[in-house]
Amino acid sequence: MATVQLPDALLIRNYVAGDESALEILINRHQSKLYGFIYSKVNDRDVSDDIFQDTFIKVIKTLKSDSYNEEGKFLPWVMRIAHNIIVDHFRRNKKMPMVRDTDEYSVFNTIKEADLNIENQIITEQIEGDLRKLILELPADQREVLMMRMYQDLSFKEIADNTGVSINTALGRMRYALMNLRKLIEKHQIILTN
């Protein structure tokens, strides 16, 4: 029996029992529908990628902690998680200005200005240089995943395949990389805006 044809409930049980590939099948099965839902709400690819990642990090934590209630409705449950993360995202952005950079995912969204004058271009290059230096301070496994995701635009499945780890591990490394990057930005008191 092909694993891809297994129902969500069985894949969830297999994943909780230790079969990492079961999660990969679930992600691949529901990726386009979930991503489309997220993108339709935030209309920003980078933010959608982050929310998608956060959604599956929460899914993984819930499944691993045995807190998932078997209702036979995996996708609606994941959509509710994504919806809640989207709401949190909009709440955070309303309350906090981007200059403070307290949202761990806003780091890469601050360097986007189409019409740069020379002064702004120099400042932007300085910010990008500072960011690259901070990235070099990350642990090698986190730096590798972050570079593949942010600069090579690879999917988490591609990152997992290229690094020989599970999608779960790749997602976790990305999350820790972003958290550590935020700490480094605060430690070095770098302002990521011009």
Amino acid at 136: L
What is the topology classification, in CATH, of domain 3-95?
Answer: Rna Polymerase Sigma Factor; Chain: A (1.10.1740)
68-95 pLDDT, tens digit per residue, is 776 668 888 888 889 888 888 888 776 4
The full length of the chain comes to 194
165-174 pLDDT, tens digit per residue, is 998 998 999 8
Where are the domains positioned within the chain?
Answer: 3-95, 98-187
CA torsion sign, 24 to 166 to 53 to 76?
positive
pTM above 0.85, yes or no: no
Domains 3-95 and 98-187 share a fold: no
Q: Which of 131, 58, 42, 136 is nearest to 93 (CA)?
A: 42
pLDDT for res 50: 92
Name which CATH class applies to 98-187.
mainly alpha
